[in-house]
Structure 1
Amino acid sequence: MTLRARLHRQLHIGSWPDGKLTGLNVFVVWTILAALLVGIVATEPQIRIPYQHEILVAEFVFGTIFLLEYLGRIFAAPEAEGPGSAWGKRLRFIFSPIGLIDLLVVVVSLAPFFIANAAVLRVIRLLRIISILKFSRFSAAMREIGAALRERSYDLLVCATLALVLVLLGAAGLYWVEGSLQPEQFGSIPRALWWAVITLTTVGYGDAYPVTTAGRLIGALVAIGGVLLVALPTGIVAAAFSDAMQRRREAMARALEEMEGALPE
């Protein structure tokens, strides 16, 4: 087995029949967790200021690891299944969603060492949280859940449409009923949209609320509708999650049966 083939086998879960993480994958996962933890802790001035040097060293190490991983995946991309030349497969990986996420993580991790602007630097440090998106590569279950959600995209779209209609009707109703009484909160439909969204989601900050009987009735209808609408996508997502886990278990059972069947008697 060539070096490129061994690297591809270590970096890509799909090359292993049971979908388990390899040693290199586990190392990358722990690196992502450590980088995320350092990025979060570094936002606290009482920790960032006295340990600034240690944080910079850690960030440089994380950025270097992510860069090496990214380059390794580009190098091993020709081993992926499917038609195309070696460089064609490399370009397909580079411009794929996960390849762009990898590149963005590398840029965000190493950019602080080349940018002196403090304000931009703080934003870049916060953007390092996107490294958690790399976890989608390390979990076959997440891919199953994503596929299940895509299958139910129409149902979720219907729920989102119903929520949008209810928000617009609630905002229009409060604008019509209390626009003249509370112009700051309900003087226009865009202003009333804030109240409608907060009421629909049952958050209720209390910064805007109806004072008339008709306005309160509209608010009650929006709140009740929000409770019902929140339950719909929750059920859809729960069903998608259950279906994904079931498919995952069935796939693992089939893989084990195939491996047992391939063993000599």
Structure 2
Amino acid sequence: MIAWLCGLVGEGPFPSRRVVAYQAMLVLCIVLSTAIAIIDTVPDAWVGFEGAVTAASGLFLAVLSADYAIRLLSAHSQRAEGESGLAAMVRYALSPYGIFDFLAVVPFLVGEATTVLPHDGETVFGIVRFLKLARYSPALETLGVVVLHEMRPLLASLFIMLILAISASTMLYFAERAANPAMGSVPAAMWWAIVTLTTVGFGDVVPITALGKLLGSVVAVLGLCMFALPASILASGFAEEMKRQNFVSTWHLVAKVPFFQRLQASQIAEIAGLLKLARAIKGEVLMREGDTGECMYFIVNGQVEVKGKAGTFILKNGDFFGEIALIERCPRTATVKAVSRCQLLILDARDFHKFVAHDHALLEVIWETARARMAQAKQVEKKDDQKSEEKEDA
């Protein structure tokens, strides 16, 4: 039972249906409980619905509390070698996600037990609960990684912006102090410099002298240039990180294929570079039984139905099919149809043969694995035929 519960909070690129359902339930509880905390700040928002809102809040708190307990159990059961269970639980509790999970439930539990949590505290922690969604948002996680990787150039651009703000406020102070009381000191002029450099321009403080307006124009143009710098750093870093993540996931998809398991990492990476992205709509037939195979498919997301002599079964995220086409041009042994919208990666047999043509050792490794796999498949097919004949005779 504990193992089954811990499996609900397991993370991986291809989660099971029960894990997906559990995550969807948690996301719904987080969103609704946060919405209640926000709307609760509106006076008399729940008139006539106080009981229902209280019951819903209690239900959400129970679900999120159970999730926190399950994650503590999971950390205890998946502790590293030589690590005590308590140390593993503390390590999880002090991690960023562990802190978010703690803030989402523990302050409320303490408040319910002791009635010491004021209404404002419930509002704050209820909205902070939204941070739990960071675990289920790949975009936020990717952004965090990008910021960490690009920290040095970001800090450099921040330092340059601080220099500009101080320099601009100092210049405007000397140019405007005699005629403009709003810039009678450097700190007062710094407010104008910040809102100008950020291109906000509230207009509550403006230069009034000719020299001040000239300097203000220069500062405004510099502000446009300066904010393009961190934006470009984050944009390029985000694009590089997405490219890296796509490459890693594609590499793992290729490495799962039995033909390629004995290849070196660099060779798998080269094969991954040959893959082409394709999409299929629900009901679309990807290949038919009897057609000549010319490519193999990797399922990035979605599900397909495979119907052939071996029966009918479903393939989903991370699976592959049609790999025999890379070895020999033979008829397909099954019909494959998309049962949902699918994103696929296709490896064309011609591209694959061009890749292996110059490396006979690589070709021999793939052929050796392919022969063994095809022989195994023929043995299974032969046994199935024998069983069918025995049933007919009986």
TM-score (norm 2): 0.59
Shift of 1:149: 2.2
- Structure 2 residue ranges without an equivalent (≥5): 262-318, 320-372, 378-394
- Structure 1 residue ranges without an equivalent (≥5): none
**Of residues 8, 20, 39 in structure 2, which corresponds to 1:41?**
39
- SS of 1:155's equivalent? helix
Separation in structure 2 between the aligned mates of residue 194 and residue 49 of structure 1, nearest angstrom: 44
TM-score (norm 1): 0.85
Q: What letter corresponds to residue 96 of structure 2 in structure 1?
A: P
Q: Is 1:18–2:14 an aligned residue pair?
A: yes
- Going from structure 1 to structure 2, the CA distance change for 1:177 and 1:112 (only over 3 Å counts) comes to farther
Q: What letter corresponds to residue 60 of structure 2 in structure 1?
A: F
Shift of 1:156: 0.7
- Structure showing greater radius of gyration is 2
Q: Does the aligned pair in 1 maintain the 2:176–2:207 contact within 8 Å?
A: yes
Q: What letter corresponds to residue 94 of structure 2 in structure 1?
A: F
- Which position in structure 2 is the counterpart of 1:249? 246
Separation in structure 1 between the aligned mates of residue 52 and residue 121 of structure 2, nearest angstrom: 20
- Which position in structure 2 is the counterpart of 1:94? 93
Q: Does the aligned pair in 1 maintain the 2:165–2:193 contact within 8 Å?
A: yes
Q: What letter corresponds to residue 76 of structure 2 in structure 1?
A: P
Query: Within 5 Å, which residues of 2 pair with 1:1-265?
Result: 3-13=1-11, 16-18=12-14, 22-80=20-78, 82-83=80-81, 84-110=83-109, 113=112, 115=115, 120-183=118-181, 185-261=182-258
- Going from structure 1 to structure 2, the CA distance change for 1:142 and 1:61 (only over 3 Å counts) comes to same
Bigger helix fraction: 1
Shift of 1:19: 5.9
Shift of 1:45: 2.2
Separation in structure 2 between the aligned mates of residue 204 and residue 112 of structure 1, nearest angstrom: 44
Separation in structure 2 between the aligned mates of residue 140 and residue 166 of structure 1, nearest angstrom: 35
- Going from structure 1 to structure 2, the CA distance change for 1:167 and 1:30 (only over 3 Å counts) comes to same
Separation in structure 2 between the aligned mates of residue 41 and residue 257 of structure 1, nearest angstrom: 49
Bigger strand fraction: 2
Separation in structure 2 between the aligned mates of residue 175 and residue 152 of structure 1, nearest angstrom: 35
Q: What letter corresponds to residue 31 of structure 2 in structure 1?
A: L
Shift of 1:141: 4.6
Shift of 1:59: 2.3
Q: Write out the 4+ residue segments of structure 1 that deviate beyond 6 Å after TM superposition.
A: none
Residue by residue over 1:67-125, the C-alpha shift from the partner in whole angstroms, topping out at 9 and shown as x without a partner, is 221111111102336342211111111112221121112145456645478xx413531
| Identical columns (%) | 27
Relative contact order, higher structure (CA 8 A, sep 6+): 1
- SS of 2:200's equivalent? coil
